[in-house]
Chains A and B, each alone.
Chain A
């Protein structure tokens, strides 16, 4: 006889979401739904009629951890619609910005995921706020890596959070030789720290895979070998940067994409029949409460070839480097493996920059309503924005954000895990729920009042 348990809200990730879990008598998840309960802000709808200059700056405000992804994807979607080709040096600046942001984001995620992990050879979970060694120096290293990522982002992007330098057509400003030297210096400092951090994280994640149990709610919960496995496949548009409809060989295909409502993919109305006040911290939802994932989920469900797909670090490594580790820790290890790429690409791009070259296109056509798309490989995966611009105004705008893709995939990946470890699986996706939430609009009674019309 299966029971239903609900963890709401989930913690140590960006945004507001919950887990509705159907479990068997052993507490193993038979069917899990992880869903966004972040209020919909409706950026795609309010973009209509605004100028192509404004919309990427608004889209940036979707998320403060990966604003670079939304700024760049939105700008490049406009550029793709209008047929604007940006100068090489503008692209290089955007590439450095991308690397800086991914570095900072992955390091930030380490802070969020570390409390689930154990110091190898011990039964001690990592508390990143602890003043004790070895954790103290790890926390310092993480913050230094984030400082490097954010400072580099600030120099090339104008601002670390909500970059001001990107504009449709390229960038507002090139950097000075002094700024170029500063990026070199920061990258040199970062490369060593990134390698140490990568090795540290992989050691902890591999150690977790070897463990039989993890402590949760004051008891030992068995860790299954297949924690977080799923069969949904992967999608990625580039190892580092992205792709757009202007490319000679685009790496993403809008014809394979379809977006459906949560109705088709989530559970119906359920009553919570099990609770655990020991779940840290504050317990789970009280038994007797109702949950209705189909109605409460604040995201759309994007499909690729008719199925939800995983996006993110592992998807990139699978597609471009034949990576084959599955499960939650496999995903975390893939994320750690991306550290070095951030550093090497950053150095390669800054090497190539001509600080006296123009960084904005000479001519910016105002658009004739043609559809254009751009995929940015955000820290959490493919962030695809689609736009139609006519006479300088946005006619249509759509955002397919990484965590939106991951929501239904991660829900499937919950099956077979003890419910107490569901959040460990969720965190492996480094979710960004603000990013994911868009489009479906609910009124105060959770009734659907607007939904996306598929083109």
Chain B
């Protein structure tokens, strides 16, 4: 399964705690894992996408309590530069064991920082738990705002949840109104930088999680590294996470792999296009992978 990265195990899972699930995007895996890791000392702080100055505009924050973690539940389909805090966490915050959640590109940055710490003194050995979330693409805040306010005709202040799934972008409000738009409408708002990304399920994370593959309210979880496996198994044992086999789950890993393949194939093509081999008149554009 080259499109899904290396992993030791894959589960259908959700948080064991109703409080966490109440406002979680899917199965509450990230919140539950970090809460468990904080409570048991696997980490002493987690870099998460907290609430920002405007609704659904994420702002990276360092959570050192479960209450602070709760404030960061839910997907915000916009850019949260979580890596901006990676060094500060070891400085004025005084952390020794850092948890960090991020999209595939952010987990790549974490790993690159660990192996090639340019200006990241004392960071490499302080990353204790890197949780990755599946990511097809992201949007700049202005793009997201336009999708919600113009295309979905919904005031962004009233939105309680946003979701991309089944070919649609959906927004939900507290009063039960929801609107949907087809994903093809959103394409022009995507961050251009997402179009060269060759990672769908956060291949470099200790544990990756996302909604695709499992029913609503559940998450698909890849347990990848030894550190991830140890933490995840203990969290399951302690009841913070309920994990079940993926066997027979619909739509299951097949769909995850299909989407991963689509993303990687499409973006690989775009990378090849940037090389402009077919038009001698066009100079090739930089390729970060070569």
Contacts and interface: CB of A to CB of B under 8 A. Distances in A.
A252 to B, nearest CB: 31
Interface stretch (B3-11, B86-94, B129-137, B168-176): B86-94
A352 interface: no
Nearest to A160: B121
B268 to A, nearest CB: 39
A178 B90 contact: no
Name the residue among B88, B93, B94 with the largest chain A CB count within 10 angstroms: B94
A176 interface: yes
Interface in B101-127: 121-122
B199 interface: no
Given A155-B94, A181-B94, A173 B64 contact: no
A159 B121 contact: yes
B105 to A, nearest CB: 25
A175 B121 contact: no
A151 B122 CA distance: 9
A178 B121 contact: no
B206 interface: no
Contacts of B96: 182
A178 B91 contact: no
Nearest to A183: B94
B95 A165 contact: no
A178 B64 contact: yes
Given A173-B88, A178-B44, A178-B64, A154 B93 contact: no
Interface residues of A, number: 19
Contacts of A173: 88, 91-92
A155 B64 contact: no
A216 interface: no
A179 B92 CA distance: 6
A180 interface: yes
Contacts of A156: 92
B93 A159 contact: no
A154 B91 contact: yes
Contacts of A178: 44-45, 64, 93-95
Given A178-B44, A178-B64, A158 B91 contact: yes
A158 B94 contact: no
Name the residue among B64, B90, B91, B96 with the largest chain A CB count within 10 angstroms: B91
Interface string B130-169: 0000000000000000000000000000000000000000
Contacts of B64: 176, 178
The interface size bin for chain B is 10 to 19
Main secondary structure, interface of B, reads loop
A174 interface: yes
Nearest to B93: A176
Contact of A165 (B44, B90, B92, B121): B92
B121 A176 contact: no
A154 B44 contact: no
B97 to A, nearest CB: 11
Interface string B41-60: 00011000000000000000
Name the residue among A154, A165, A183 with the largest chain B CB count within 10 angstroms: A154
Nearest to B92: A173
A84 to B, nearest CB: 21
Contacts, number: 44
Contacts of B95: 178
Contacts of A155: 91-92, 94
B91 A165 contact: yes
Contacts of B90: 154
Contacts of B93: 175-176, 178-179
B94 A182 contact: yes
A156 B91 CA distance: 7
A151 B93 CA distance: 12
Contacts of B94: 155, 175-176, 178-183
A158 B121 contact: no
A155 B87 CA distance: 10
B59 to A, nearest CB: 16
A379 B45 CA distance: 34
A419 to B, nearest CB: 41
Contacts of B122: 151, 154
A220 B29 CA distance: 73
A354 to B, nearest CB: 14
Nearest to A178: B94
A176 B92 contact: yes
Nearest to B119: A159
A183 B64 CA distance: 18
A33 B95 CA distance: 49
Contacts of A165: 91-92
A193 to B, nearest CB: 20
A436 B165 CA distance: 64
A159 B88 CA distance: 9
Contacts of A179: 91-94
Contacts of B88: 158, 173
A159 to B, nearest CB: 7
Interface string B218-255: 00000000000000000000000000000000000000
Nearest to B64: A178
A55 to B, nearest CB: 21
A96 B45 CA distance: 24
A158 B122 CA distance: 11
Interface string A390-425: 000000000000000000000000000000000000
Interface string B28-49: 0000000000000000110000
Nearest to A171: B92
9 contacts: A154-B91, A154-B122, A159-B91, A175-B92, A175-B93, A175-B94, A178-B64, A178-B93, A178-B95
Given A159-B91, A179-B94, 16 more contacts: A155-B94, A159-B121, A160-B121, A161-B121, A165-B91, A165-B92, A175-B92, A176-B94, A178-B44, A178-B64, A178-B94, A178-B95, A179-B92, A181-B94, A182-B96, A183-B94
Interface of A: 151, 154-156, 158-161, 165, 173-176, 178-183
List of 3 A-B pairs having minimum Cβ-Cβ separation, nearest first: A179-B94, A182-B94, A173-B92
